[in-house]
């Protein structure tokens, strides 16, 4: 039993369903005689119901990738640096062996495609700082990167394939600045397009493919620029995107 | 560690629901959840095994949220527009209208009232649990709940004469 008179706290306890049956009955008797309070309490009950209608669907949504329980920060940092060190070591070893080859063009291409893959591994897991300039400032991004590369670069639009532009950043390449554009699909899957200037303005190559530690890379040279599209998706899917990129850049 | 991850994972949908209602914005909400998870994992040694993990996580989230409000780190406008567009596509029309009304009404509550109202009404914390999560006396929980519900009622009824800046201790 609750003590009379009925308090504001009692009324809220009634709304929240935390009163024993007997006390709830007391409140109901009180409300039957106090129509203003009754209207107020009915409205509070409706608020709770509306909150559940509006926000309960979130409980059943699939979690975005970034909310999978992260490893402790230090562990992720260690893993990331380990990944970078491993990539650099791989690059070094590959570079050492490839040094012996005479086919210099191929060596160069392999090296920069690897750099593109490293850049993908380093930046694509970033949540807050994935890009330096976001897609909202696309025009500025493209002007800035074109200016720094000394060549006209474009950010292809891949919306038809489900990927939207996240933004881009400037990176150091083996022989000057390079650009990286990042794309993301609805599930948070990210692709990066790495663009560098090619020493030979007239050289063109077919698509080449390489795969290192789960990262697939299609790379090609076209119109004085080298492109490498990296992603952790399967080869046919990545090829579809690479083809779309190529077509957009060569309308 | 695997057990801990499973325990925390169980709580993520509710953390998201609360954060979404609290911030009124999908991406801000997920930022808040993400910050909460990261802080929880780095401070897990502070959690007493067997105590209420949900209340502990909500306490962490509340502290982060309050710090963000204080330092005015909410870049709301930019995110809101794109977010609204996404939700417009996802949610069927009537639900979407109600959600939008509720979002804008909740935004007109001082955050002290909004947190209490959501923890009790949406997350179904008891008054004692809400007091612990918010680190305030239970009497304060009750007065904020009362004022919050009354204000939300007034806003939803179209009465904007209730001052949004009323400070409630």
pLDDT score at A227: 93
Contact list in A for residue B13 (CB cut-off 8 A) is 58-61, 63
Distance CA B18, CA B115 (A): 9
In degrees to the nearest 10, what's the CA dihedral of B160, B162, B163, B167? -140
pLDDT above 90: residue A31? yes
Distance CA B84, CA B87 (A): 5
Contact list in B for residue A16 (CB cut-off 8 A) is 120-121, 124
Q: Name which of A158, A117, A171, A180 is nearest A241 in CA terms.
A: A158
Q: In terms of pLDDT, which residue wins out, B44 or A185?
A: A185
State what percent of residues in chain A have pLDDT above 70: 82
What distance in Å separates residue B21's CA from the closest CA in chain A? 7
Distance CA A88, CA A128 (A): 25
pLDDT above 60: residue A240? yes
CA distances B27 to A15, A64, A201, B32, B86, Å, are 31, 10, 43, 9, 11
In the three-class reduction of DSSP (H, G, I as helix; E, B as strand; rest coil), residue A43 is classed as helix
What distance in Å separates residue A96's CA from the closest CA in chain B? 40
Per residue of chain B (169 residues), what is the pLDDT tens digit?
Answer: 566 777 888 899 999 999 999 998 888 899 999 999 888 888 877 777 777 889 999 999 999 999 888 765 444 443 344 444 444 444 444 455 667 788 889 999 999 999 999 999 999 999 999 999 999 999 999 999 999 999 999 998 886 555 444 444 4
Top residue of B10, B31, B33, B38 to mutate, by most chain A CBs within 10 Å, is B38
Say whether A55 and B142 touch across the interface (CB within 8 A): no
What distance in Å separates residue B96's CA from the closest CA in chain A? 8
Structure tokens that stand for B150 in this block: 């009354």
pTM: 0.53
Distance CA A81, CA B164 (A): 49
Structure tokens that stand for A220 in this block: 């090609």
What distance in Å separates residue B5's CA from the closest CA in chain A? 6
Say whether B121 and A40 touch across the interface (CB within 8 A): no
Distance CA A183, CA A192 (A): 6
CA distances B98 to A41, A43, A88, Å, are 20, 15, 53
Distance CA A149, CA A152 (A): 8
Exposure string of A167-177, with b = 16+ CB inside 10 Å and e = fewer, is bbbbbebeeee
Instruction: Find the closest chain A residue to B44 by CA distance.
Output: A72
Q: What radius of gyration do chain A's Cα atoms show?
A: 29
State what percent of residues in chain A have pLDDT above 90: 39
**A116-163 pLDDT tens trace:** 888 888 888 888 788 988 998 899 999 999 999 988 999 999 999 999
Residues 6+ apart with CB under 8 A from B87: B26, B96, B99
To 5 degrees, how large is the angle CA A43–CA B134–CA B122?
35
Structure tokens that stand for A77 in this block: 């940092």
Instruction: Find the closest chain A residue to B138 by CA distance.
Output: A9
Helices (H), A34-132: 35-55, 73-98, 104-123
pLDDT score at B164: 45
Contact list in A for residue B78 (CB cut-off 8 A) is 136
pLDDT score at B85: 41
Instruction: Find the closest chain A residue to B140 by CA distance.
Output: A9
């Amino acid at each position: 039993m609750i003590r009379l008179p009925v308090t504001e706290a009692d009324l809220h306890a009634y709304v929240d369903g935390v009163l024993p049956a007997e006390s709830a009955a007391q409140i109901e008797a009180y409300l039957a005689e106090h129509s203003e309070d009754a209207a107020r309490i009915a409205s509070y009950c409706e608020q709770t119901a509306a909150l559940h209608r509006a926000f309960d669907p979130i409980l059943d949504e699939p979690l975005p990738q970034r909310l999978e329980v992260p490893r402790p920060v230090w562990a992720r940092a260690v893993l990331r640096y380990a990944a970078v060190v491993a990539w650099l070591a791989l690059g070094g070893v590959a570079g050492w062996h490839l040094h012996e080859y005479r086919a210099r063009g191929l060596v160069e291409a392999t090296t920069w495609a690897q750099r593109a893959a490293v850049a993908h591994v380093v930046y694509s897991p970033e949540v807050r700082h994935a890009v330096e300039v976001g897609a909202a400032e696309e025009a500025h991004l493209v002007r800035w990167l074109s200016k720094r590369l000394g060549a006209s670069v474009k950010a292809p639009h891949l919306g038809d394939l489900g990927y939207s532009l996240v933004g881009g950043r400037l990176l150091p390449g083996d022989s000057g600045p390079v650009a990286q554009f990042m794309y993301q699909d609805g599930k948070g899957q990210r692709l990066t397009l790495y663009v560098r200037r090619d020493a030979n303005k007239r050289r063109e190559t077919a698509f080449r493919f390489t795969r290192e530690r789960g990262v697939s890379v299609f790379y090609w040279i076209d119109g004085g620029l080298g492109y490498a599209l990296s992603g952790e998706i399967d080869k046919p899917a990545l090829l579809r995107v690479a083809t779309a990129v190529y077509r957009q850049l060569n309308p | 560690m695997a057990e801990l991850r499973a325990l925390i994972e169980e709580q993520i949908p509710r953390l998201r629901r609360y954060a979404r209602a609290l911030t009124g914005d999908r991406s801000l909400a997920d930022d808040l959840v993400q910050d909460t998870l990261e802080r929880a994992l780095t401070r897990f040694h502070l959690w007493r095994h067997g105590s209420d993990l949900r209340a502990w996580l909500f306490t962490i989230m509340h502290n982060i949220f309050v710090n963000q409000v204080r330092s005015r780190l909410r870049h709301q406008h930019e995110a809101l527009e794109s977010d609204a567009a996404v939700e417009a596509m996802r949610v069927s029309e009537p639900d979407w209208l109600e959600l939008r009304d509720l979002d804008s009404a909740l935004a007109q509550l001082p955050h002290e009232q909004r947190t209490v109202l959501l923890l009790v009404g949406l997350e179904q914390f008891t008054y004692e649990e809400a007091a612990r999560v918010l680190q305030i006396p239970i009497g304060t929980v009750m007065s904020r709940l009362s004022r919050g519900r009354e204000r939300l009622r007034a806003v939803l009824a179209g009465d904007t004469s209730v001052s949004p800046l009323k400070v409630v201790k």
